[in-house]
Each structure stands twice: as C-alpha cells, then as structure tokens.
Chains A and B, each alone.
Chain A
Amino acid sequence: MNSNVIQAANLTKVYNKGGGGEVYAVHGVSLEIRKGEYVALMGASGSGKSTLMNILGCLDKPTGGSLKLDGVEVSTLTDEELATVRNRKIGFVFQSFNLLARTNALENVELPLIYSDRTDITRLAREALDSVGLADRLHHNPGELSGGQQQRVAIARALVTDPEIIFADEPTGNLDSKSSLEIMALFQQLNAKGRTIVLVTHEPDIAEYTHRIITIADGKIISDEVNRQPRVALEKIPAPASSEVSNENG
C-alpha cells in the first residue's frame, strides 16, 4: 500500500517569454508527501512556491515530469478529470478566503458538495462548520464574520469533502496575529487527527508550526527538513464540540 499522497518526479513548469526566452517557474521538483504529514512550502515571492502548489493541487498542469496524487497519475488528465480530482481529493484554503459574498457560511461550505455526488450536503456542511467551531454561525454572511471566522469557514469548506490533502496558500496572510494563531492551532488540530496539510507561506514564523519545511527558490527545492520541534499554537483553539465554542464569539 502506497502511503504517499503526493509523489512528484521532476516536475517543471515553463513559460515562454516573448523572443524565444523560457522561464522556469518550477524547475525539476521531485518530492513525496506522505499521508498525515503537515508540510510547509516556503519561499520568497516569485520563488515558484505558488506555481508548485497550483500544480500539486491540480489547479494547473505541469509542462514536464510526473505527478501522482493518491497513487493516480494526474499530469496527463484533462481539465474535466482534474476538476473531479480537485472535487474528491483536494481541499483549498486561500489567503483572501474566497468566500462567496452575500452567501451564508453554510452555503459557502456546501459549495464543493454541489459539484459532488453527495446528497446529504447540508448535514456534511454543518458537521464541517461544527469541526472548526462555527456551529453557531451557520447563517451568517461573510460580512458578518471576523477575518479569523471567515478563514475558518474557508477551512470548513476545504474539509467538507473529506479530501486526501489540504492546500493552504498563505492562510494567515490577511489576518492579525491573534487570528493567525487561531488558524495555526486549527491546522495543528486537524493534522493531529490525521489530515495531510500543505501550507504555502513566505513567513518562516508560520512555517515553524509545521513538521516539515520545504524551501523553494528559483523553482527548485533548496532544502527539505524535518522540523523536530514545531511551534505549538496553544489554546484559543475553538473546540470541535459546538457547545464549548461560545467563548469565541464576538
């Protein structure tokens, strides 16, 4: 049994610039991510970490190399097949939350399920919101929620399909330090329960919360280290049971 969620070999992404010049956004990246890992993809802006994340997350296609997701080769799939892979196996958390405006939390979390074969979408969305401590915010629109709460809705949306892997692209980039801590705590909690999480960040501080830090520069992996003593984002963690979350409201 292959326990690698991601197995990438020699991935490249080349853009053709005018005048025949080529730019490698991703240049021969090989890496494996095992089930249950909590990994940071770290690098400065322009390092190619976001492009790499897009490729690993099946949002973009590599121009070369091989990528297996959950044992299945995805680098040759069509757009439609990739959409299905994203729907079933991947969850995304974005820097700017990307919640639908004027749409309540419950409906935002239901979004991926709309495009799935599931029928019990409202129940699943409730459970997901419950697991991020927002059971009492189901019918609030994004405008009525704090930044931290909005990101938790987004995390619930990523969780709701029970994906193999979650990609979080600078999830704390738009949050104050208190909310950032909350989100980091939530990710650690989810990882502790076995979620595979890839966190993309340019902040070493944030990367420190993960268990493995992969540093990218110029489209290449320049270091891949196990973080033996990850920072712990303590408390302020909304407990999963809804009855205990009330202290978080406000």
Chain B
Amino acid sequence: MKTARVLKVAFKGLGRNKLRSFLMMIGIVIGITALTLIVSAGLGAQERIMERVKKFGLESMMVFAGAGREMGQPTSGQPATTLTLEDVTTIKQEVKDIADVAPFNRKGQAEVKFQEKSATTAIFGVTPSWAPVWDWDAAEGDFITDEDLASLARVCVIGPTVQKTLFGTANPIGEQVRIGNVQFEIKGIMQPKGTSPAGGDMDDRIYIPLSTLMRRVANVDYISAIKVRLRTAKDMDKTAADIKALLRERHKLAPGTPDDFTITTPTEVRKMAEKVAGTFNIFLALVAAISLISGGVVVANIMLISVNERRKEIGLRKAVGAQRKDIMLQFLYESTAVTLTGGVIGIVLGAIGAKILEAITQMPISISWESMVLGLVFSSLVGIVAGLHPAKRAAALQPIEALRA
C-alpha cells in the first residue's frame, strides 16, 4: 500500500517536470533503439542462416576437391583435380551410413545462347542422384536420367533464373540452347531454391549429365565435389572422419601432408554464414553500449541536480515521517520509471527502424520478444544503477538541514 503510494509520488514528480524527464530519457531511447535493432537484425540473420543450413541439409556434407575450399567461393586459378569418379564409387561402397552420393562438376560462367539472347551462367554436370541428395528436382519436365548419363546425351535442365533471362514467360521445354559450341535440348526446369549459404543465386544454373560435361564440354576426368547424404545427422562427425581416412588412403597421402580435398559439414556452413552477419552487429552493439552508458550518466547527473533542487521537498517528507527507505525508493522509482519509459519508446522506435532497414537493405530482420525483454531489462538496469547514488544522497539528508535550505 505504502509502496504503491510512494510509486505514485515518483510518477507525479516526473509529470511535474516534463522537460527534465524528457532530457533524461533521450540517451536511453537511443540506446534501446540501437539494442532492439541489433537483436532484431541478429536474430533475423540467425534465422536466415538456419534456413540456409536446412536448405543445405542437416544430414548432408560436402567433399570438395582441393585443400581449403569453401562452399560457394569461386575457384581461383587452376581447378583442383584430385577427386575422381572412382573416389565417389569407393565412398559409396565402403563408408557406412551413407544414403546416397551426388558427384558433380561445375563449370563456372559459361555463355548460353538461345536464338539472339544470351546469358552467362554456371554449368553443372550432375548424376540422377542429385535430385534425392539435394532434395531438389525438376519442377516441370524431367531431371537428368541414367540413360542420359550412359549415352552422354545433349540434354539440360535449366534453373528458373536462366528461364526468365532467356525465355521470359514462354515455355522453354523442347527448345535448343547452345552452351559453348554444343547444342542442348531443354528437358526440364528446376524447382526454385533461392540464395545459397554464401549468398549466390542457386537458380542461375544449367544442369547437364555429368558424363556429357566431362567428355563433350570440358574434356576432363575429375569432378569438383561430392555431396554426401547420410541416413541420420547424428553420425556426421564419424562419417566425415571415415571419408577423410578413405580419401587420404586412396590419394596416397603420407601422414603429415595436408588433405587434397575439403570436407564441409552443416556446422561449418553455419559458422561461415555467421561470419558474414557479425561485423554489422559489432558496430551497432557499440552504439547501443555507448549511448546506454552516456544515457545513464545523464540520468545520474540530472537526478543529482534534482535531489539538490528538491532538498526542501525531501526535508518536508522526512519531517512528516518519511523513512530513509521511502525517499530512497521514491528517487529510484523516478530514475527507473524514466529509463523504463525510454526503453519502451526505444523498443518501438527500434522495431520501426528494423522494418525500415529491412525494406531498404533487404536484410533479414526478426522482431522478437527476446529483443523487447532485453530492452526492458537493460533500461531498468540503467535506471537503477544511475539512480542509486542520487537516491542515497536524498535519503541521507537530515530533515532540519533540508528544511532550512
């Protein structure tokens, strides 16, 4: 009862000094706005990363040719030639718990022509196992078949981006396109997949049979990578180790020499994506921290001035029976009410800002209850810490001295 009355006193005190209350609030508003932005952007990024990792497949891993390869990064200089179709066959036969493997050879940036139109796109030589392993099939028409593979067929399946570039809204199935000097018949259109973990457009691709690419287009005897799909995600680390051991043995790598291949698991995919999102957050976190600290200093300062200005009021309250604790609470409530109000305003502004940021930058933003709770906790914390010293000072005033002032 008494506490509620002291709380009411604090709010009335704030209402009587609107300008002072407003000035105290500004820093906190900025700080919590920034905080809300960071958390929203951070969670948004997190969600998108998880989405991408799921898209990649939680029970899948990649085996790239060459050392130190990262997914989605363009190959620099000479392509790695260390993975062969025999490696693929052996992995599938000898490593346990593997559901399927999808070897592919990627020829980056080839020119594709349809009549007068042309596009530069990535060519993927794939096997029929691509569809189940990537969980990614033709949306219209058919995907590459075993017969296509055996006969080195000149057929292709195009991604939706390529379709849009070369054909617009027209149906491309059955049409002929030129890749380099070879004519291919379009037999299907892929399901849209969106952005890759590294940020590339996974729909801007053309798929042809792996054998056709190796013999007729690129004339090579190696592959770029293998996607390995396990039966369950929990055997990931053991299976990765098995594949690593098997490949080292097959490639006759002496102990101590580095791998001539790279294995990437979903954990690594996530780490990679998080690295991209990190920099922006560090900047905003600094802004939030600095403005919360300086906001707190402003609150503490103005509260001290306020205590000084209100010595008479404090003296009177003590004269009529306020305990030390009552005065202390009154001022703590005041500072906390100010910062908490600032916090609520900051959360609202932060949410609005996040929406604007999302619209402008296309960055993924997720406004969540976590960011709101964090904003409320931080703003109250600043209020309590900043108000503590002024409140103690007010509480320590002797009634006669304060009344005399």
Contacts and interface: CB of A to CB of B under 8 A. Distances in A.
Interface of A: 54, 59-60, 79-80, 83-84, 86-88, 92, 94, 98, 100-103, 107, 111-112, 114-117, 119, 121, 157, 161
B16 A115 contact: no
Nearest to B326: A115
B322 A115 contact: yes
Contacts of B319: 59, 86, 92
Given A94-B403, A102-B16, A115 B316 contact: no
Interface of B: 1-2, 5-6, 9, 12, 16, 312-313, 316-324, 326, 399-400, 403
A87 B321 contact: yes
Given A59-B399, A115-B326, A119-B1, A100 B321 contact: no
Contacts of A121: 5
A121 B8 CA distance: 13
Contact of A80 (B324, B400, B403): B324
A57 to B, nearest CB: 8
Contacts, number: 62
A62 to B, nearest CB: 13
A117 B3 CA distance: 11
B320 A100 contact: no
A109 to B, nearest CB: 10
A111 B399 contact: no
Nearest to A92: B319
A112 B319 CA distance: 9
A83 B2 contact: no
Task: Return the 10 tightest CB-CB contacts between A and B, nearest first.
Answer: A87-B321, A112-B320, A115-B321, A114-B5, A115-B322, A102-B16, A59-B400, A86-B321, A98-B316, A83-B323
Contact of B321 (A54, A60, A83, A103): A83
Contacts of A101: 16
A100 B322 contact: no
Contacts of B12: 103, 107
A245 to B, nearest CB: 25
A22 to B, nearest CB: 20
8 contacts: A59-B400, A80-B324, A111-B317, A111-B320, A112-B321, A115-B322, A116-B321, A117-B2
A80 B323 CA distance: 6
A84 B316 CA distance: 14
